[in-house]
Copies of this chain bind each other. A is one copy, B any other.
Amino acid sequence: MVSSPVRTASKVTQVMEVIRHRVDRRLLTPGARIPSVRAMAGALIVSKSTVVEAYDRLAAEGLVEGRPGSGFYVAAPLAPLRLLSAEADTDPTADPLWTMRQSLRPAGTALRPGCGWLPDSWMPEDALRRALRSLARDGSGATLFEYGPPQGDETLRTLIARRMAEQGVDVAPEQVLLTDSGSHAIDLICRFLLESGDTVLVDDPCYFNFHTVLRAHRAKVIGVPYTPTGPDLTAFRTAVEAHRPRLYITNAALHNPTGATLSAAAAHRVLRIAESHDMVIVEDDIFGDFESEPAPRLAAFDGLDRVIRIGSFSKTLSAAVRCGHIAARNDWIADLTDLRLATGMASSPLSAALLVSVLTDGSYRRHVERLRVQLARRRGRVLDRLGRLGIEAWHVPTAGMFLWCRLPEGSDSAEVARRALADDVVLAPGNAFSVSGNAARFMRFNIAQMDDVRVDATLARVITS
């Protein structure tokens, strides 16, 4: 049977698309040999002449070049790095970046139970406006105009070290490096410790930006199921032994998205396993200030030997004042400082001055105490409201803003999130947090972003429809 010309043309295009896709996604890099005509014909179930025509056309475009007797090789330059997954073209909700973009859209009238921060009205507005006025009046020329010291403002580093001491982490201000944010801190550490292709352990589920930043580093990500007291220790040990990861990235205190808390026993076991396999741990303490009772810190047990502690004030003070930090061994801080200078100079002395001002005028502790009370008040109420919709918490956290919930049987949280957008309600579907993709029935809710009862109406509509 002879294929019709149309059919052949579309098959040629199909072969071309397969190669183009692999080059676009850096699965084939410059100079790499593309599959032989025979292999490609076999794989796509097309004739060899179809593949030959496709390869010839790609060569005419300059994407590949033929070498007589040897095959075809990629001739195009390296494709730019795209983080959005190819699947996202058809189903964007499956991608953590989709959730990030949606959450960061200007609020307008949108409701955002899926976002990861508190409403503006909860934030220390008087204190920040006061800090701005005081900076306008008394800020030095260096604070207003200069790059600032390589490691960042010393007063802020001293305050951070003092606050860590209260959590049992013994650290000198010289061991603290200021970054532009918590995400920036993780990114710097990944650059410092990883190479493309290295393996990293994360919790399953975990904060979705751990996935995107690791995608930027082209790391191999292994998830370990998370339990209400920390990672599943058997699975953790098995994963460490099988994959020899260089790094384990996790939350301190209140785990995102589950709100669970690491037990002392789990902390001890995790550290023992890390030690015996020379694995470094990044402990992200960004939600620490929401705790009512301080949970065990890996950084405290370990004394910042193989644990690197990161944090920021984005969740409790302001996400607009960009400033995060890394606390680690002295020699690592020296090298991380060079890396941060080379890739973005030093942290803003102006941001540091604003934070120091709010952290030291006495209002911050009262503000954080108020946040805890407001969250505690809402937690039970939101649990009741969700319960009436058949949505159940996987775990009831003692503090923090998140509830990790199971939707009614048969629900697909990505589909639910898509439908909710029609009502301008931004949700956070479970699989954005899950490397295994087994959280399709889960969703993270932010109890501080659910005062408006329109959320319930939308949820009722989108879950049952």
Question: Shortest distance in angstroms between A81's beta carbon and chain B's nearest beta carbon?
Answer: 5
Which B residues are CB-close (under 8 A) to A105? Answer: 149
Q: Compute how far the CA of A194 lies from the CA of B343 in the bound complex, rounded to whole angstroms.
A: 14
The chain B residue with its CB closest to the CB of A101 is B150
A213 touches B343 (CB 8 A): yes
The answer on a CB contact under 8 Å between B335 and A117 is: no
Check A344–B183 contact: CB distance below 8 A: yes
Task: Give the chain B neighbours of A82 by CB distance below 8 A.
Answer: 335, 338
State which of B141, B187, B341 has its C-beta within 8 Å of the C-beta of A125. B141
* Bound CA span A351–B278, Å: 41
Tell yes or no: A376 within 8 A of B by CB. Answer: no
Please give, as numbers and ranges, the residues of chain B lying within 8 Å of A133 by CB-CB distance.
132-133, 136
Interface pair B144/A121, CB less than 8 Å apart: no
**Docked complex Cα distance between A132 and B135 (Å):** 7
Q: Are B144 and A181 in contact (CB under 8 A)?
A: no
User: Is the CB–CB distance between B104 and A120 below 8 Å?
Assistant: no
Interface residues of A (CB under 8 A from B): 26, 29, 76-78, 80-84, 97, 100-101, 104-107, 117, 120-121, 123, 125, 128-130, 132-133, 135-137, 139, 141-150, 180-181, 183-184, 187, 191-196, 198, 209, 212-213, 215-216, 246, 278, 314, 318-322, 332, 335, 338-339, 341-351
Some 23 contacts from A to B, beta carbons below 8 A apart, are A77-B278, A80-B192, A81-B335, A82-B335, A97-B342, A100-B150, A101-B150, A104-B147, A107-B142, A117-B147, A120-B142, A120-B144, A129-B136, A132-B136, A180-B180, A183-B344, A191-B216, A209-B345, A318-B350, A320-B350, A321-B350, A322-B345, A322-B351
